[in-house]
Structure 1
């Protein structure tokens, strides 16, 4: 009888090709054959052959400086996966719960490059309210849902943010070291806080929805005018969105 405890055999060529693709996808400016071969402990000839295959298949393109970069084909596959997860249906009950608990605007957002896109929402019931449209977008570094996604995916996304922290209000974090500290605080408490960094006097809280490997594919968010936030509300609202996002992540774990 075969030993069922043995790990399944891994195709070495496929694993090396995927390793190259992962490195290129995480790189902001592309990588050359020599750099990739050194980082992955591959021969230059093997690295070059794998890059040619990935280029032919449309996952990689060669740049003018002879380095290579990942194409949007990898991103498109990831986007299709997120869509097939039916996030709206999975997150719907939690959006309703957050709306009932706070009365504020509730959002479901997904990442798109250095931005987030709102794919579902429940409008605020308050006289003074914040408002965004489904299909609308915002910079990932200065809204609650975006910063929650960043906190989960920061090791892969940080380099792309350098030089791209655009200012929108006086409170926007435009220095990467300041963002580092903010992301560390987000990771510690389990939810992100936008203190009017995208729109003046509009606060937002966000928590990431993650796959079993910890990668964030979406975030739940609560947005409200600063005037609506009573003393002691920040911790309560943050905990609500953190726990709701955790329940959606649990649904993803169960499939």
Structure 2
């Protein structure tokens, strides 16, 4: 009789923990998808929980670094989610998944093609196809550049701006006369990038290097990587970039579709 009661107690605790975990994950997803921070009352209402239960979950999420509180006591997700997502991304053969799109883009423009991911406040070049033209862009596989002044970095910054804005805006280092160094200018640029679906670099990191990039989305709609081209401004003029934008955007959509297909395959295994 005692053993039976003990098992029932343990089962009840497991069910309670499972329900709490489910609610915690729902709250985390809700905050991650929100463009603004949220207060306790709103979070509790959306999670269909009491304020006391919601507060306990929020305290736990905050303790483990998944969320943080602003000065107004509202809650928002921390960069820990991005770090975890980036770790998962490194376990995916992103260059392999992107190889066809990169080759398509290289054949379309005959300029250097980059595949990039976020790395703190920089963009990391995880793969590159070199142009066979005599003058090439000054980047290499495994190298990195500041987010705010190269095309593949700007596109990732724009689609992750809510989390990165304060950190990037505080360190807008000037590299050329075209580098964005004003937070207000950066805000407008990021807004335009998201509206257009691509980013352009006109000599903002290296005066003689121009580029254009498009986002790559994971199956949940998060911009996790970018694909783009770069080359000397003598060849990659503004007029040339405008003609190549559809190809760059198409390449980004190709990789996005491949990632969606991989998730579909995993679900059916």
TM-score (norm 2): 0.73
In the TM superposition, residue 157 of structure 1 has moved relative to its aligned partner by 3.5
For residue 89 of structure 1, the aligned residue among 72, 91, 96 is 96
In the TM superposition, residue 77 of structure 1 has moved relative to its aligned partner by 2.6
Partner of 2:252: 245
Structure number having the greater helix percentage: 2
Partner of 1:142: 149
Summarize the alignment of residues 1-255 of structure 1 with structure 2, pairs less than 5 Å apart. Answer: 13-18=20-25, 21=28, 36-41=39-44, 45-54=52-61, 58-60=64-66, 74-230=81-237, 232-255=239-262
Would the alpha carbon gap of residues 73 and 149 (structure 1) be closer, same or farther in structure 2, given more than 3 Å must change?
Answer: closer
How many residues end up aligned between the 2 structures?
Answer: 236
**Structure 2, unaligned stretches of length 5 or more?**
1-17, 263-269
User: Alignment RMSD, CA only?
Assistant: 3.2
Whole-Å separation in 2 of the counterparts to 1:234 and 1:115? 23
| Contact 2:86-2:118 at 8 Å conserved across structures | no
Of 78-87 and 198-207, more deviation after overlay is shown by 78-87
Of 206-215 and 177-186, more deviation after overlay is shown by 177-186
SS in 2 for 1:118: strand
Partner of 2:13: none
Per-residue CA shift, 1:8-40, capped at 9, x if unaligned? xxx76335423665688799xxx9xxx852452
**Structure 1, unaligned stretches of length 5 or more?**
1-10
| Contact 1:105-1:131 at 8 Å conserved across structures | no
Would the alpha carbon gap of residues 215 and 231 (structure 1) be closer, same or farther in structure 2, given more than 3 Å must change?
Answer: closer
Whichever of the two has the greater Rg, that structure is: 2
Would the alpha carbon gap of residues 26 and 138 (structure 1) be closer, same or farther in structure 2, given more than 3 Å must change?
Answer: farther
